[in-house]
Chains A and B, each alone.
Chain A
Amino acid sequence: MSLLDVIGPVMVGPSSSHTAGACRLALLARHAFGHAPHEARFVLHGSFAKTARGHGTDLALVAGALGAAPDDTRIPVAFAEAERAGLAFSFTTADLGDVHPNSVRIELHGRDAAGAERGLVLQGSSLGGGIVRVFELDGFRIEFSGAAPTLLVRHVDTPGVIARVTRVIADDEVNVAALYSARKRRGGEALMAVECDRAITPVAAAYLLHLNAITWLRQVPAVMSASSDGSHIASATAEVVP
C-alpha cells in the first residue's frame, strides 16, 4: 500500500466503498469486456441494494461501464453520458449468496470489433476504502483486485497450459504477483487471472492468443491507480483481441 493510497484516492463522493469502489468494479468489467458495451445490467446485493441511490452507486457503476475512473467529475451526470454513448442500463437487486455486503453482478453486452455479439458477467465486492475484489468472471471462480495489471486468459483445460502462459510471461521479464485458475469441469473451459507487476508486451499477448489451447485474452490495467485526464469516458480500453 502506497502513502498515496492512504491520502487518496482523489474521488467523486460520497463513499469510497459505495461510489469509488463501485466505479472501479464496473471499470474492471469494462476493461475485461474490451469493447464499448451497448447494454449494462447491474444486480445489486446487500448494502449496495439498500443504499445505492443515496450513495450514487448507480451513477458510479454506469460511469465505470463507460470507462470512467473514480475521480471523473462526470460521474454525477453518468446517466446523461450513457445516453450520449448509446449505453442502455438497468438495476435490479438480488441475493448473490454468501458474499461481502457491498457486492454487485455486472453484465455487459455489446459487439466486438468484428461485429459479433459478446457478453461478460463479472461479480465483485467493494471491501472499503475504494479497495475492490472480483470474485467471479463468466462463471469462473477467480480473483483479482485491480491493484496490479491483470492478464485474463481463457483456455481449454489441458496439461501444460498454465506453464506455457507463465513461461511467456517470464520470457517477457514480467514478475507474477498472484495467479488464480479455475475450470468448469475437467478438460473443459478454464480461466486464469494473473496479476503482474506490469502488463506484458503486445507481442507476448499476441503470441499467447495464437496458441491452440488459448481462446480469449484480456489485459486489464491497474484501475486502482487509474485517474481521469478529462478524456477517460469511452476511451478506456485498447483492444488486444482480434
Chain B
Amino acid sequence: MTLADLAATSGPASAAVLADQGLSDSERVALLDGMRGRLGEMRDAIARGLASDAKSRTGMVGWNAKGLWEAHDALSAPLLKRVQAYAMAVNEENARMGRIVAAPTAGSAGTIPGALIGVGDHLELDDEALLLPLVLAAGIGEVISKTMFIAGSTGGCQAEIGSSAAMAAAAVTELLGGDAEAAVHAAAMALMNTIGLVCDPVGGYVEVPCVSRNAFFAVHAVSSAQLALAGLRSFIPPDEVVQAMASVGRMLPPELRETGEGGIADTPTGRRIALEMAR
C-alpha cells in the first residue's frame, strides 16, 4: 500500500491499514490486543518517567521530564507542557534502562506517547479511543520502512524522529476526527519539515539531544495534525516526501548517522563526555 492509496480510502485510515494486513479474525484480535498492551506500556513509562529524577547511566539526562512537569506553566499552555513532559518522560525512562515501547525506535520512543496520549489526556479521552489511531501510526511507519530502513545509522535522525513524528501526526489527526486524507497529509507535512535532521548523539548515547528532541517532535506532530485538520495539505505528494527523506538520508555522511562523530557530538564538551564515558 502507498500513502496515496491510504489517503484515497473513504473510511478512517486505520481501517484501511487493518484491512491491508490481510488478517484472520483471530489474528486481528491478537493485533489489537498487542496494541492495547503497547499503549499500557507507554502509559506506564510516562508515569515512571514523570515521577523519577534518577540520572541515566551516563548522567547526562534524567531530571528533565519531572522538572518540566512540576514547573509553573509559564505559557498557560497545558497541552504543550503535557505533550513535552510525556515525551521526555518516556525517553528518560529509556535512558535509565527502564522499559519502553520502541515506536518505531527506542531513541524516538517518546514522540508517539507524548503526542497521542498527551492529546488524549488533555481531552480526557479513554485509552480505548487511542487504539485505532495507534494502529494507523504503525501503518504509516510500515509504509515508510518499505522505502528506508528506520534507523539513525541508516538515514539520520530524520529517519527516526521524522518517522515517529509522521506516525504520531497521523494518529492525532485520526483521533480528532480527521479523515484518511487529512491523516496521511499530516504525516507528510510532519516528515517534510524534518528532512535533513542529522543523528549526532553525544558519545553515541541515546540521551543528548534525543530526550529533548522527542519533546520538540511530539509537539511538531501535534502542529502538523492541527494544520491537516484545518484542511491544509502537503503540496508535494506524501509518497514523494518519503522518497525525498530517504534520498537525503543516503546523502548524509557517516559522521551524521549515529556514530557520535559529528554535529552536537563533535563539540568540545561532546568530545570530552565521550572520552570520559569510554574510560
Q: Which A residues fall within an 8 A CB radius of B? A: 1-4, 6-17, 19-20, 47, 50-51, 53-56, 59, 71, 73, 75-76, 101, 127-130
Contacts and interface: CB of A to CB of B under 8 A. Distances in A.
Nearest to B153: A128
B94 interface: yes
B267 to A, nearest CB: 17
A53 B97 CA distance: 12
Contact of B138 (A6, A14, A50, A129): A6
A50 B204 contact: yes
Contacts of B153: 17, 101, 128
B99 interface: yes
Contact of A11 (B21, B99, B141, B150): B99
Contact of A1 (B37, B97, B137, B142): B142
B138 A54 contact: no
Given A6-B141, A20-B102, A56 B38 contact: no
Contacts of B112: 7
B167 to A, nearest CB: 8
B95 A3 contact: no
Contact of B102 (A3, A59, A127, A130): A130
9 contacts: A7-B35, A14-B96, A14-B97, A14-B207, A19-B97, A47-B259, A55-B206, A71-B99, A129-B150
A3 B31 contact: yes
Contacts, number: 134
A54 B102 contact: no
Nearest to B20: A3
B41 interface: yes
B47 to A, nearest CB: 15
Contacts of B107: 14-16
B123 interface: no
B193 interface: no
Contacts of B95: 13-14
Contacts of B99: 10-13, 71, 73
B240 to A, nearest CB: 21
Contacts of B31: 2-4
Contacts of B278: 50
A127 B151 CA distance: 9
Contact of A3 (B98, B139, B207): B139
Contact of B97 (A9, A16, A56, A127): A56
Nearest to A3: B138
B106 interface: yes
Given A3-B142, A6-B141, A14 B102 contact: no
Which 7 A-B residue pairs are closest in the complex by CB-CB distance? Answer: A13-B94, A128-B151, A3-B138, A6-B141, A51-B204, A6-B138, A76-B97
